[in-house]
């Protein structure tokens, strides 16, 4: 008896468990249906195996080729049962119905009471059952439509609340074109389009005309609701699938499909190129990187997608001028489409006549260094665009682009600047004010010129093909907001490295300019002597001479700063001091003038340098005597034109290889500006600005660089957060800390690990 009772209990438990509906797991798969579709492009081989679908095709048609499909389906929670026994049907595009008080002028949805999902488990999520309660019709549109928790990640009409069902019907009754419509309603509508095509992929139930109409409708939805990256990704992937189903029909529209993340087209194109023995070009190579699991493109490649592709082409062609060949591998191509609907989780396409080179590692290893170089070159530009209110049109953004991209852009800003700079060089030796130069940025002039402003103006000049003086990298000083600046052509170039002779003469020119401008006027002879120092130096390259000439122009038009010079001169040896005095007097006497006013100016310079001004007269006399003696020895008689003797004398001093002469100038003219303080990233208190829930989400996200969106939904759900709001909150916090976002929402969520390290300090 006990055995019998036990058996009954076991049987009852078995019936309860076996009747229990499936759980709401988006990853759960149920029955598997294998079938085939007719290919009109030769992508897939003939399949002799055919497992039943709703309608057979002719197995004896020798002109057709087929691909094998595997469809895996899953579903959400079970809704309440409906009394509507009407079999669900497809409402065509032109059919008009009135449902629960709404006149719906356009079809493209399923209608009725009974329609299983393609797995036969659960109700088709897009099925509209008019017997299910809905709110009264309203005039609400777009963001005004009611929403609540029933409009979840995988929404279904059957499980919506009464208010949400009414809102969805209001959406269908509209032109379905308000971009502010809650995206859950758009997805329910999209589920029906998706099912209609996939369910009838092997039948003629969908005519060519209807197929194109549905493709056009998906394309329209993609354009209207493109702000939802999730919907954009799913709709773009579906358009690719439709193009593979009927390639000759959709072929002309293929180029209109935005680039997808599923890689269906990419894999077919790559396989076809390699199977035909053609080389992989730059665009296909980048697509390969974007679609491989062996490498993840970093933030600049996503945020600056078009610029990254342009730069990648340039760098790729530098290395592989004609592309590179890849030998076809033995792995056969198999594609998978992941549906948006919870009723269809995947569609597998097996294309046995093509290889699958996307799994190869060697080509990827060739491409990664190119991508890394492009990432590095675009990193500053990307970070700028990540700021709030930043635009690609900003001059500050433009200046952060690699020069090749600026040249390709031919922006009006650069062209206008070029014309202005050329006229300035021709008419005024390139001399202008910082204020006038800055005006070309289109931004207000800052009170002080810091590193950011220096870099901006330097980049503007460089990208236009000009150099500036002073350039702090080479001239060891910088201009000021209320000062002057000099432009010269063709500039320093990308690989300019100043020689020791450059630095030595630069310091001599600084001293010479100080002497020449001591009386607040510049005599032509004084300037001529200094310029001959540049022209006669055979150790200098043409670029160095151009740079120093511009530097001299700037020095002669900029007040000298003598602060700290006397203290440094006190450290010189007697030999170095004699050299210094001789140089000063030689420059001052370049015009042949030895009048009282000139002597007083030299005395002021002596005093400013901490030298004994009472020795000026005797020093002038001694140098003049030496010059006259040298002149007699060379010509046999005194000459009134002694400038050339003077030039030779100064050149001899300058060209001296003695360490005394060089160290003397370097000791006097150490870098004029104090070095910029080294910026250190402070240790960041992550709690500052983030509540516990967002902090927990951030800590979870930084465990890996990429998160599928549905995984993020799950994380946010556990923490009681909305995905979009959480991303915005964390990025706002990152902006406050390091002036850059840390999360990039591109359908899937990408974590910028470089920014994470900055936030960690």
DSSP per position, 640-676 = S--HHHHHHHHHHHHH---HHHHHHHHHHT--SSPPP
pLDDT of residue 251: 72
Contact present, 494 and 481 (Cβ < 8 Å): no
The structure tokens listed for 287 are 């697509």
Highest-scoring range by mean pLDDT, 68-82, 203-217, 719-733, 739-753: 203-217
Answer for the pair 129, 156: CB distance below 8 angstroms, yes or no. Answer: no
**Antiparallel, parallel or unpaired: β 743-746 and 748-751:** antiparallel
The pLDDT assigned to 576 comes to 72
Given a cut of 80, is residue 400 above it in pLDDT? yes
Helix (H) or strand (E) holding 431: strand 431-433
The three-class DSSP label of residue 184 is helix
The CA-based angle 113-117-121, given to 5 degrees, is 100
pLDDT tens digits for range 365-387:
999 999 999 999 999 889 888 88
Q: Name the more confident of 543 and 662.
A: 543
Cβ atoms of 290 and 366 within 8 Å: the answer is: no
Average pLDDT in the 172-188 region? 96
For the record, the structure tokens of 390 come out as 């930043």
State residue 184's pLDDT score: 95
State both tokens at 226: 């493109």
- Residue 515 parent element (H or E): helix 500-516
Q: What is the pLDDT of residue 634?
A: 52
Q: What integer pLDDT is reported at residue 344 of this predicted model? A: 86
pLDDT of 162 above 90: yes
Q: Which neighbouring-strand residues pair with 91?
A: 109
Task: Please state the rounded mean pLDDT for residues 203-215.
Answer: 94
Collapse the DSSP code of 706 into the 3-class scheme (helix H, G, I; strand E, B; otherwise coil) and give the result.
Answer: strand
Rounded Cα distance, 502 and 482, in Å: 27
Q: What pLDDT does 626 receive? A: 63
The 10 Å Cβ neighbour count of residue 217 is 18
pLDDT of residue 585: 77
Q: By C-alpha distance, which of 158, 165, 162, 80 is closest to 125?
A: 158
Structure-token pair, residue 446: 């800052």
| pLDDT for residue 515 is more than 60 | yes
Can you read off the two tokens belonging to residue 627? 């010059």
Beta carbons of 244 and 349 less than 8 angstroms apart:
yes
Distances (CA, A) of 350 to 31, 43, 277, 359: 19, 10, 22, 15
CA distance 193 to 175: 16
4 has pLDDT over 90: no
The 10s digit of each residue's pLDDT in 432-441 is 999 999 888 8
Position 684 pLDDT exceeds 60: no
Six-digit token pair at 380? 């500053």
Helix, strand or coil, per DSSP, at residue 350: strand
Evaluate if residue 580 carries a pLDDT over 90: no
Residue reference for tokens 């988006």? 26
- Of 63-67, 337-341, 512-516, 682-686, highest mean pLDDT: 337-341
Please name the residues in contact with 335: beta carbons below 8 A apart, sequence gap of 6 or more. Answer: 244, 264, 267, 268, 348, 349, 350, 351
> Which residues lie closer than 8 Å to 385 by C-beta, 6 or more apart?
303, 304, 391, 392, 397
The yes-or-no verdict on residue 8 having pLDDT over 50 is no
Provide the pLDDT confidence category of residue 186 given band limits of 50, 70 and 90: very high
Inter-CA distances, 162 with 130, 151, 158, Å: 12, 11, 10
Mean predicted confidence (pLDDT) in 606-624: 77
> What pLDDT sits at residue 90?
97
Residue (of 56, 48, 53, 29) closest to 336 by Cα position = 29
CA distances to 49, 53, 57, 73, 347 from 35, in Å:
8, 6, 11, 14, 10
Mean pLDDT lowest among 249-253, 573-577, 645-649, 751-755: 645-649
Query: For the residues 391-408, what does the mean pLDDT come to?
Result: 78
What are the tokens at 290?
């974007």
User: Over 90: is that where the pLDDT of 169 sits?
Assistant: yes
> Mean per-residue pLDDT for 558-571?
71
Distance CA(538)–CA(542), nearest Å, equals: 10
Closest CA to 127 of 168, 161, 95, 98: 168
How many CA atoms within 13 Å lie on the side-chain side of 105?
A: 3
Tokens representing 23 are: 């759980």
Looking at the chain, how many residues does it have? 761
- Mean pLDDT value of segment 548-563: 86
Distance between CA 544 and CA 547 in Å, rounded? 5
The answer to whether the peptide bond before residue 470 is cis (omega within 30 degrees of 0) is yes
Residue-averaged pLDDT of the chain:
78
* pLDDT at residue 77 is higher than 70: no
Rg of the chain (C-alpha set): 38
List of residues 6+ apart from 24 with CB closer than 8 A: 76, 77, 154
The position carrying tokens 């009838």 is: 200
55, two tokens? 């309608």
CB 233 within 8 A of CB 747: yes
- What token pair was written down for 158? 């059957």
User: Which long-range CB contacts under 8 A does 139-147 form with residues at least 24 apart?
Assistant: 140/167, 140/170, 141/170, 141/174, 141/178, 141/181, 142/178, 142/179, 142/180, 142/181, 143/178, 143/180, 143/181, 143/182, 145/170, 145/171, 145/181, 145/182, 145/185, 147/182, 147/184
Which of the listed ranges 48-62, 193-207, 631-645, 699-713 does the model predict with the highest average pLDDT? 193-207
User: pTM value?
Assistant: 0.56
Dihedrals phi, psi of 94, to nearest 5 degrees: -90, -5
Rounded Cα gap, residues 473 and 503, in angstroms: 12
| Over residues 239-255, mean pLDDT | 84
Strand partners, 69: 35, 349
C-alpha 682/C-alpha 761 separation (Å) is 6
Positive or negative, the CA dihedral 679, 682, 686, 688 is negative
Tokens 């935005």 map to which residue? 258
Considering only residues 223 and 79, tell me which one the structure prediction assigns the higher pLDDT.
223
Query: 3-class secondary structure for 35-51?
Result: EEEEECCCCCCCCCCCC
Rounded-to-10 torsion of CA 640, 641, 647, 653: -10
Q: Residue 102's beta-bridge partner residues?
A: 99
Helix (H) or strand (E) holding 405: helix 403-409
Indicate if the pLDDT at residue 327 is higher than 70: yes
Query: So what's the pLDDT on residue 111?
Result: 97
Least confident of 148-162, 176-190, 254-268, 563-577: 563-577
DSSP 8-state class, residue 131 = T
Output 30 or 117, whichever has higher pLDDT: 117
- Which token pair is 596? 């009282």
* 578's tokens: 């004699």
Structure tokens at 681: 């990233």
| Distance separating alpha carbons of residues 76 and 157, to the nearest angstrom | 11
Strand spans (E) along 50-108: 65-72, 89-91, 97-99, 102-104
pLDDT at residue 75 greater than cutoff 50? no
pLDDT bin (cut points 50, 70, 90) of residue 565 is low
pLDDT, tens only, 343-363: 887 888 877 688 999 889 999
Token pair listed for 3: 């055995």
For residues 143-164, give the mean pLDDT.
92
The 8-class DSSP code of residue 517 comes to: T
Closest by Cα among 94, 118, 137 to 192: 118
% of the chain at pLDDT higher than 70: 76
**Per-residue pLDDT at 314 exceeds 50:** yes
Q: Which of 140-149, 198-207, 472-481 has the lowest mean pLDDT?
A: 472-481
CA dihedral 595, 598, 600, 603 (to 10 degrees): -120
Pair of tokens at residue 592: 């042949």
What is residue 392's DSSP assignment?
T
Cα–Cα dist 533/524, whole Å: 14
pLDDT of residue 690 exceeding 80: yes
């Amino acid at each position: 008896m006990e055995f019998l009772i036990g058996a009954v209990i076991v049987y009852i438990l078995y019936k309860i468990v076996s009747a229990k509906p499936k759980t709401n797991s988006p990853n759960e798969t149920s029955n598997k249906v294998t079938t085939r579709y007719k290919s009109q492009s030769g992508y897939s081989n003939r399949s002799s195996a055919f497992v039943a679908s709703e309608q057979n095709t002719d197995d004896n048609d020798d002109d057709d080729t087929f691909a094998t499909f595997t469809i895996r389906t899953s579903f959400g929670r079970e809704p309440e049962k409906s009394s509507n026994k009407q079999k669900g049907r497809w409402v065509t595009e032109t059919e008009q119905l009135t449902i629960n008080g709404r006149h719906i002028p356009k079809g493209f949805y399923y209608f009725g009471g009974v329609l299983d999902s393609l797995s036969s488990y659960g109700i088709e999520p897009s099925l509209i059952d008019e017997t299910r309660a809905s709110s009264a019709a309203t005039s609400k549109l777009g963001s005004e439509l009611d929403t609540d928790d029933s409009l979840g990640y995988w929404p279904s009409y059957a499980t919506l609340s009464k208010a949400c069902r009414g809102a969805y019907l209001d959406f269908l009754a509209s032109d379905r074109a308000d971009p502010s419509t809650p995206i859950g309603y758009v997805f329910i509508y999209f589920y029906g389009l998706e099912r209609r095509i996939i369910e009838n992929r092997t039948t003629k139930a969908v005519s060519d005309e209807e197929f194109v109409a549905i493709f056009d409708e998906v394309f329209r939805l993609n354009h209207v609701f493109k702000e939802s990256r999730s919907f954009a990704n799913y709709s773009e992937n579906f358009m690719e699938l439709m193009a593979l189903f009927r390639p000759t029909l959709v072929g002309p529209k293929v180029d209109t499909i935005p680039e997808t993340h599923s890689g269906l087209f990419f894999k077919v194109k790559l396989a076809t190129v390699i199977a035909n023995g053609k080389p992989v070009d730059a665009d296909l190579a980048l697509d390969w990187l974007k679609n491989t699991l062996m490498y993840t493109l970093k933030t600049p490649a996503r945020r600056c997608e078009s610029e990254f592709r342009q730069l990648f082409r340039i760098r790729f062609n530098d290395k592989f001028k004609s592309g590179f060949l890849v030998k076809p591998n033995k792995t056969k191509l198999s594609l998978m489409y992941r549906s948006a609907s919870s009723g269809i989780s995947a569609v597998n396409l097996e294309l046995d006549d093509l290889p699958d080179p996307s799994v190869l590692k060697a080509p990827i290893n060739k491409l990664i260094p190119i991508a890394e170089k492009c990432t590095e070159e675009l990193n500053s530009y990307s970070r700028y665009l990540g700021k709030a209110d930043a635009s690609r049109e900003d001059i500050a953004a433009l200046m952060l682009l690699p020069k090749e991209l600026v040249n390709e852009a031919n922006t009006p800003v650069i062209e206008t600047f070029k014309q202005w700079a050329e006229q300035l060089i021709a008419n005024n030796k390139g001399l202008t004010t910082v204020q006038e130069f800055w005006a070309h940025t289109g931004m207000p002039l800052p009170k002080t010129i810091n590193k950011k402003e220096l870099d901006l103006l330097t980049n503007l000049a460089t990208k236009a093909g000009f150099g500036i003086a002073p350039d702090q990298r080479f001239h060891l000083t910088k201009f000021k907001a209320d000062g002057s600046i000099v432009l010269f052509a063709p500039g320093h170039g990308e690989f300019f490295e100043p020689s020791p002779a450059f630095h030595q003469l630069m310091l001599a020119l600084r001293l010479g300019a100080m002497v020449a401008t001591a009386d607040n006027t510049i005599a032509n002879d004084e300037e001529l002597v200094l310029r001959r120092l540049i022209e006669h130096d055979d150790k200098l390259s043409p670029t160095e001479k151009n740079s120093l000439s511009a530097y001299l122009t700037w020095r002669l038009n900029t007040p000298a700063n003598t602060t700290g010079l006397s203290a440094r001169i006190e450290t010189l040896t007697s030999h170095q001091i004699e050299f210094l005095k001789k140089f000063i007097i030689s420059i001052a006497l370049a015009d042949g003038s030895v009048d009282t006013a000139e002597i007083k100016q030299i005395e002021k310079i002596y005093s400013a340098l901490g030298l004994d001004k009472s020795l000026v007269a005797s020093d002038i006399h001694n140098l003049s005597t030496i010059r006259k003696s040298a002149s007699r020895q060379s010509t046999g008689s005194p000459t009134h034109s002694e400038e050339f003797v003077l030039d030779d004398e100064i050149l001899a001093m300058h060209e001296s290889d003695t360490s005394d002469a060089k160290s003397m100038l370097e000791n006097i003219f150490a870098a004029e500006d104090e070095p910029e303080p080294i910026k250190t990233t402070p240790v960041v208190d992550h709690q500052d600005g983030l509540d516990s829930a967002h902090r927990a989400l951030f800590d979870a996200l930084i465990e890996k660089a990429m998160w599928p969106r549905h995984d993020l939904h799950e994380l946010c759900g556990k923490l009681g957060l909305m995905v979009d709001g959480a991303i915005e909150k964390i990025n706002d916090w990152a902006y406050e800390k390091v002036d850059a976002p840390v999360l990039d929402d591109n359908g899937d969520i990408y974590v910028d690990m470089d920014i994470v390290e900055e936030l960690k300090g």
